[in-house]
Amino acid sequence: MDAEEQLLAALDQLIRMRNDTSSAILSECGIPDITVKQIRYLKTIDEHGEVTFSRFAEITKTSKPTITELINRFESMECVYRERSPRDRRVIFIRLTEKGQKIARADKDALSMLIRQMRESLDDDDFDIFVKIIRKVR
């Protein structure tokens, strides 16, 4: 096996490990069949914090009725809840539940777990070399 094939196999193994961990996190939440698009929407809510229906529609370039339907679906999945603004009762924020946060952060958490596994597998010098090599890739 030449160097490129070895690299391909190694990267495939890393990606598989990350995907397996991410899938396990989603299964833990009881939503193993959630779509990539739905996860992306939850990540968007997580990234923007205080997001209203209008702002969410604007960010995602989606219509307000579509957002309402999406949020209703997420509420039934117990991933989000609505919260009225204490300053202006007409304003409603979309908030992630603990379950919604776990789903939104599953990929990042899976990568963190993978890094921990790498830390345990590599000595400090090898880990530092690995980080330097990865940083060179553009």
- Asked if residue 96 lies in contact with residue 82, where contact means CB atoms within 8 angstroms, the answer is no
Residue 28 and residue 38 share a domain: no
- Mean pLDDT throughout 3-30? 90
pLDDT at 98 over 90: yes
Residue 114 and residue 90 share a domain: no
Return the percent helix, strand and coil in the chain, to nearest 5. Answer: 70, 10, 20
pLDDT at 38 over 80: yes
Domain of residue 134 covers: 1-33+105-138
Amino acid residing at 85: S
Q: What is the pLDDT of residues 65-85, one digit of tens each?
A: 999 999 999 999 999 999 999
Give the pLDDT confidence score for residue 52 in this predicted structure. Answer: 94
Residue 4 and residue 14 share a domain: yes
In the chain, the DSSP E strands lie at: 51-52, 80-84, 92-96
- Asked if residue 122 lies in contact with residue 67, where contact means CB atoms within 8 angstroms, the answer is no
Give the pLDDT confidence score for residue 1 in this predicted structure. Answer: 76
Distance separating alpha carbons of residues 22 and 110, to the nearest angstrom: 5
